[in-house]
Amino acid sequence: MSTMVQFSPEVVAMQEGIGKMYDAISAFWEDILGEHIHQGYYDPDAPPTDVRTAQFRMIDESLRFAGLLEDPSKFPKNAIDVGCGLGGTTRYLGKKHGAKCVGVTLSPYQVQRAIELAAAQGVSDKVSFQVANALNLPFPDGHFDFVWSMECGEHIPEREQFISELVRVAAPGATIIVAAWCHRDLLSSEKSLKPSEKQHLDKISEVYHLAEWCSIADYVKLLKPHPVENVKSDDWSKYITPFWTQAIQAALSWNGKGSPEDGIKAMGWMNEGYEKDIIKFGIVTCRKAK
């Protein structure tokens, strides 16, 4: 079982800020993107689909990347969605794959809305949601046979502890998938990003309450001390190219209450970051050793 973990005042303040941010902006994100507030997966050689279709495909392609769609009869039965947002993926795993799934987030608003959507979609018997800290998950060791985290790790400053918790709650043989916003891999001659690149990422971080950015290779390194196998990673940046343009267009036509101006600016910076090869969309999967 997770033990009491003490965090610095800076980490606590950041976590509180993340929860309050998502309390404030999740209704906006739901209005423009739907129940899934993560990037979509697009075919780079075909006209882009709509955002919602691409978001569902992102889930499916991530599951396929981890080898979970090869035999439907062996799909995990007990899953956790760490950083679940409005619970779109949590419910999708329950509806499409029949998994029992619990979603955790720092935002009380997201938990309440996720519960409402689960009831409306008739999956309350398969999914549950709670406010919980990804750095100190309130579940026993080895509790889940599938651990999923989509676009959550970028918010977390203590990433070693984050990865440790994901591995801890995974059962022997369980699949772990982490997808996250990353910066480009450093060249062998580099010790850090260029000042202009870091400045670009800092602007995004200020709006979205992000921790210091890391690379896809950094996530792989964080897994090395742990009892995991079949570690696989990839850069999926080319598959999400249309997303931020579509999100900006949807945001500019939004008629809801409040001004999302800072968020729209940050969307533009995200788009620019991908175009300039500063930002990467990373996916990493592994299995916990038996």
Q: What pLDDT is stored for residue 163 in this prediction?
A: 98
Predicted confidence (pLDDT) per residue in 52-104, tens digit: 999 999 999 999 999 999 999 999 999 999 999 999 999 999 999 999 999 99
Tell me how far apart the alpha carbons of residues 225 and 227 are, in angstroms, rounded to a whole number: 7
Question: 128 has which bridge partners?
Answer: 102
Rounded to whole angstroms, what are the CA distances from 262 to 26, 208, 243, 265? 14, 9, 18, 5
pTM: 0.95
The region that residue 98 occupies, defined by phi over 0 for left and psi between -120 and 50 for alpha, beta otherwise, is left
**Exposed e or buried b per residue across 218-227, where buried means at least 16 C-beta atoms within 10 angstroms of its C-beta:** bbbebbeebe
- What CA–CA distances, in Å, run from 82 to 46, 58, 129, 146? 32, 16, 10, 11
Contact 184, 215 (CB under 8 A): yes
pLDDT band at 261; cut points 50, 70, 90: confident
The per-residue pLDDT for 237 is: 98
Integer Cα distance of 23 and 275 in angstroms: 30
Residue 34 to residues 23, 60, 157, 197, 273, Cα–Cα distance (Å): 16, 17, 28, 31, 24
pLDDT category of residue 222 using cuts at 50, 70 and 90? very high
pLDDT over 90 at 39, yes or no: yes
pLDDT band at 204 (very low <50, low <70, confident <90, very high): very high
290's tokens: 């038996």
Please state, in angstroms and rounded to a whole number, the distance separating the CA atoms of residues 88 and 138.
21
Where residue 34 falls (left for φ over 0; alpha for ψ -120 to 50; beta otherwise) is left
